[in-house]
Structure 1
């Protein structure tokens, strides 16, 4: 182990900058934050036995009424978790009257994250910053363009951790403002102290091709799960049946489940169209979380379901219990991810754990990160997204499967998640690299 001045072991801090999962939890990025928090409580000793000790900090947009799906009880629990490991929550002020998903807000958050890293460098020998997704993509540039660290300050390593880009999420054409922000943010990758997270093969190829990221400047950051988390275990049948009844889900037909947010890229309109020919066979459960009460896509999807004559349960608020319950029951045959674009989805991993004994298999398009996590007819089903009838045919295939075939796919899905997605292994690899300063050619 390297030593700090005076021969003592180096002090180290992790600054995790995110906008979801601490005071709200409505998407995959929120689940990644929750995975980190779970690691601090359940896997801390095992992780630090590999990485060495460090102090965790969580930097988030200042929480309050402007935070969508704001949950003060979750925030309080997050504070307790971080503080139990010696760190704390660091709120970042921003213009709460402005639209969150715009470059001016992202610039404010990235600049504050950079200044927070600079402050921590005055207290620690090494600071590793994980800057999560588009709102914090400018952290590296803001840090490099800010004041120089004072003599004696620690090193700062910033890992720009994107989970999507304008090309992936701005369907059908990239949003110019977001695209320019991402391009400018990523041009500093490779400068001393700034690297880019490699979250998966397909998305990394996208960053290399569309954003000219040099592969030499990548750090592995595998999407992972705390395999010991209570909410990743199959739900007991009695509890699962009670929850499905609470939501009014009938169990007299095979269930097709979809989970996501009201984003055109998620492709729920395509799913509804694909399920329409099966209207007399299946019951659709669509958990599609609205960005706000006035989100027009909620009305659009409900109307499309009605026009298609589908029997369906539509839930427009976040719930983790219902997907877990349905994935734990034999009545559910498929969990569908009908995305038009996806860098790497968490849901297939969670379903693999929930459905290990009984329940659904994952059906997804052969695009984005899905083919690197799903092998067709091995641990799930892939369909050709260019084939208008591809998703319908895939669902028909799943419905026609016998229990033995479906069970074999579920078991392979479970074992692949356990083999490839353990959070301790993933974080140990990432933090070992992130706490290692990159050489500065000017010195």
Structure 2
């Protein structure tokens, strides 16, 4: 018999059935490391059972990921855990009403977020009833109220609630910001001061410092919860210069075959690498301007997570020393970034939460 029966519950908006940005990366990073964590805890007499609870996006959602859903459920169940969903409270099953710089409709209204938070808290408490101790990760804004609802009526101190902060209204949303959302954030940070079994999780030191300075969070209540990078995953390995150059030459051949000789990455130039989603606030095209100012010794390489005709137009306007890659290739990006002649990886987003989101910082 184990000395401790421990449940780990992740409440998330994406990462199992939905792909996407930073929250997805963090969720999948936790899932990828769980088999090793479970095995390590067993040597300490702790039996870990993982659970994932996700907002229910159906097959019509643009980021629905059927292949990963099946694979993830199989992985979770192989560790003795279970996967659940909470009903999406948003109209037509798609979240609305966020005020993000790129115009994305994502988080939903405070009323919708409350419904999600209550549902998540209910599932987490039902899971906790089957275990001695439970830790609940409440990822990002959709579950911002969960630690409050989870402790307000009947605080079961065997449950530890982590309000994991990926973004905030003050750093992420553009003006005019939603005062109700700011109030909810303050409430969640106050709750960590009031209840010893509620804590604030953060994805970086930058986030931690921001919460203390701008939201009066108590540093003693903050716990680093990671940013989704699994350092043992081979894709994060350090590559040799020969491997990097070979990968780039392989891609250059593809460009030549497509008649895009103008985008070939030269071997004799210093590289500025920029990558991200092709939305205006990412300012990917600014890297082209930087290469132009620096001169012919530099090549700007911009990798877009999807087709972006405006990037090709910007590159062609400059006319030289610009490469556009209209598909995200993790291995290619890693090889370019690790070249000795890659002198900078500028992240120039305006209004991005904390400058880097986990989907991008994982490369650096």
Do Structure 1 and Structure 2 share a fold, with TM-score over 0.5?
Answer: yes
1:194 paired residue among 198, 206, 209? 198
Please tell me whether the aligned partners of residues 271 and 298 of structure 2 are also in contact (alpha carbons under 8 angstroms): yes
Aligned to 2:185: 182
Larger CA deviation: 50-59 vs 70-79? 50-59
Change in 2 beyond 3 A, CA 1:251/1:262: closer
Please tell me whether the aligned partners of residues 50 and 80 of structure 2 are also in contact (alpha carbons under 8 angstroms): yes
What count of residue pairs does the alignment treat as equivalent?
A: 336
Whether 2:265 is the aligned partner of 1:251: answer yes
* 3-state secondary structure, aligned to 2:185: helix
Whether 2:161 is the aligned partner of 1:158: answer yes
Aligned to 1:242: 250
* 3-state secondary structure, aligned to 2:47: coil
Change in 2 beyond 3 A, CA 1:102/1:302: farther
2:148 paired residue among 141, 144, 165? 141
Aligned to 1:221: 225
Please tell me whether the aligned partners of residues 123 and 154 of structure 1 are also in contact (alpha carbons under 8 angstroms): no
Tell me how far apart the structure 2 counterparts of residues 221 and 242 of structure 1 sit (CA, whole Å): 37
Tell me how far apart the structure 2 counterparts of residues 322 and 225 of structure 1 sit (CA, whole Å): 18
Residues 240-292 of structure 1 deviation map (CA, whole Å, 9 limit, x = unaligned): 543454466512143322122245554435444433424644333323336xx
Aligned to 2:336: 326
Tell me how far apart the structure 1 counterparts of residues 287 and 180 of structure 2 sit (CA, whole Å): 30
Residues 95-145 of structure 1 deviation map (CA, whole Å, 9 limit, x = unaligned): 314423223443332222111111112211211111111222221123234
Change in 2 beyond 3 A, CA 1:68/1:272: farther
Please tell me whether the aligned partners of residues 127 and 154 of structure 1 are also in contact (alpha carbons under 8 angstroms): no
Report how far residue 206 of structure 1 moved: 1.5
Aligned to 2:102: none
2:108 paired residue among 84, 89, 102? 102
Residues 133-180 of structure 1 deviation map (CA, whole Å, 9 limit, x = unaligned): 1222221123234x537xxx7722110111221222224664545434
* 3-state secondary structure, aligned to 2:193: coil
Change in 2 beyond 3 A, CA 1:135/1:315: farther
Tell me how far apart the structure 2 counterparts of residues 351 and 220 of structure 1 sit (CA, whole Å): 19
Larger CA deviation: 15-24 vs 158-167? 15-24
Please tell me whether the aligned partners of residues 7 and 48 of structure 2 are also in contact (alpha carbons under 8 angstroms): yes
- Runs of 5+ unmatched residues, structure 2: 97-105
Report how far residue 307 of structure 1 moved: 4.3
2:128 paired residue among 111, 115, 121? 121
Please tell me whether the aligned partners of residues 167 and 173 of structure 1 are also in contact (alpha carbons under 8 angstroms): no
Aligned to 2:209: 205
Please tell me whether the aligned partners of residues 270 and 299 of structure 2 are also in contact (alpha carbons under 8 angstroms): yes
Please tell me whether the aligned partners of residues 170 and 265 of structure 1 are also in contact (alpha carbons under 8 angstroms): no
RMSD of aligned Cα (Å)? 3.3
Tell me how far apart the structure 2 counterparts of residues 90 and 114 of structure 1 sit (CA, whole Å): 12
Please tell me whether the aligned partners of residues 241 and 325 of structure 1 are also in contact (alpha carbons under 8 angstroms): no
Please tell me whether the aligned partners of residues 29 and 229 of structure 2 are also in contact (alpha carbons under 8 angstroms): yes
Change in 2 beyond 3 A, CA 1:281/1:239: closer
Tell me how far apart the structure 1 counterparts of residues 32 and 21 of structure 2 sit (CA, whole Å): 16
TM-score (normalizing by structure 2): 0.77
Tell me how far apart the structure 1 counterparts of residues 329 and 209 of structure 2 sit (CA, whole Å): 33
Change in 2 beyond 3 A, CA 1:69/1:244: farther
Tell me how far apart the structure 2 counterparts of residues 217 and 139 of structure 1 sit (CA, whole Å): 17
The aligned runs of 1:293-372 (5 Å cut-off) are 298=308, 301-309=311-319, 311-315=321-325, 317-329=327-339, 332-340=342-350, 342-343=353-354, 345-346=357-358, 350-351=362-363
Please tell me whether the aligned partners of residues 191 and 198 of structure 2 are also in contact (alpha carbons under 8 angstroms): yes
Tell me how far apart the structure 2 counterparts of residues 330 and 117 of structure 1 sit (CA, whole Å): 48
Aligned to 2:100: none
Report how far residue 36 of structure 1 moved: 1.4
Please tell me whether the aligned partners of residues 21 and 358 of structure 2 are also in contact (alpha carbons under 8 angstroms): no
Aligned to 1:230: 234
